[in-house]
Amino acid sequence: MATTGISKAVLITGCSTGIGRATALLLAERGYPVYATARRLDAIADLATKGCRTLQLDVCDEASMAAAVQTIEASEGAVGVLVNNAGYGLEGAFETTPMSEVRRQFETNVFGLIRLTQLVLPKMRAQRWGRIVNLSSVGGKITLPGGAYYHATKHAVEAMSDALRFEVSGFGIDVVIIEPGAIKTSFGDTATASIAQHADGPYAAFNVQVAEKIKDAFEGQLERFAGEPINIWRFNQRMPVTTQCIVHIIRRDEQHVQPGRCGFSLRGNIMRPADENNGPEKNEKNSTCEILFHMLVYTTQLSGLPLN
């Protein structure tokens, strides 16, 4: 799989569910040495029977991050590919969100990503080849009410990734941002659970509306735009869009893939399958317009302004 002397071992965070799990399974299937990680080993025990090596890693615990990186480097020489996937969404009114929750949000989505990247870079630089894949979000390009702190973390990931890309490119390392839209994972449940903790107070009605809109994105009108982490339609074929993109990122030195951002914020995972009367171009245009309309409805309803 790898060029002699170059490790292409893949370290993925947050593999207990969703995109992380789907990515680990796909890359293991493609023959890559995959180190799937999660806070609890029992949550990823089954991945060990499917070609993955499993490690305990908590992005809020530097000791566990250092131990995981050392284990991989002892076995492979270096972490060749880092997929920073671990993260969650904190939702609720800006004013009443406790600082302890804000700090935990940044610790998980930003500071853990920073430190783990710092830990893998020395050996990655030494072999002069590497891929750092940071899972951002469409929420790193736009901002919706009730998600101030989550959006702030994803905007931070975008900015840091863009700066880091320039700094490490001379060492043969590429940094790529992936910006998924709605995907059917436990993300929505986690986000609404954070709102439920603040049922009272001056923003109670606002928080209820935010929770309803998040639920709608995963179970209501917008659900048809949400793709499965691994089983997403793209044009006229089943294709794991986000995970397939990561495969191309890793193989960029072997295939001609456009460098920089790989964004599915308004593409890919909101496509409906093409048919003879409704080609891919029309699907993309219609889906994009519809999702933008629903975003407009979302923000207007929360602001209390009339939508004519």
* Catalytic pick among 149, 150, 203, 298: 150
> Going by C-beta distance under 8 Å and a sequence separation of 6 or more, which residues neighbour residue 76?
7, 9, 33
Q: Which residue has the higher pLDDT, 52 or 26?
A: 52
In a domain, 221, yes or no: yes
Q: Is the pLDDT of residue 187 over 60?
A: no
In a domain, 5, yes or no: no
Mean pLDDT of 212-224: 57
In a domain, 136, yes or no: yes
Closest CA to 196 of 174, 215, 221: 215
pLDDT at 248: 66
Mean pLDDT of 273-285: 38
pLDDT at 128: 96
Q: Is the pLDDT of residue 199 over 50?
A: yes
Q: What percent of the chain has pLDDT over 90?
A: 47
In a domain, 206, yes or no: yes
Mean pLDDT of 201-215: 70
pLDDT at 133: 92
Question: CA of 137: how far to CAs of 177, 223, 263, 280, 289, in Å?
Answer: 9, 17, 8, 23, 19
CATH number at residue 18: 3.40.50.720
Q: How many domains does the chain have?
A: 1
In a domain, 42, yes or no: yes
In a domain, 271, yes or no: yes
Of 124-138, 141-155, 187-201, 287-301, where does mean pLDDT reach its minimum?
A: 287-301
How does residue 202 score in pLDDT terms, banded at 50, 70 and 90? confident
In a domain, 3, yes or no: no
Our answer to whether residue 149 is catalytic in this structure is no
The encoded tokens of residue 96 equal 């009443």
Domain of 53 in residue numbering reads as 10-303
In a domain, 93, yes or no: yes
How does residue 141 score in pLDDT terms, banded at 50, 70 and 90? confident
pLDDT at 75: 97
Mean pLDDT of 119-128: 97
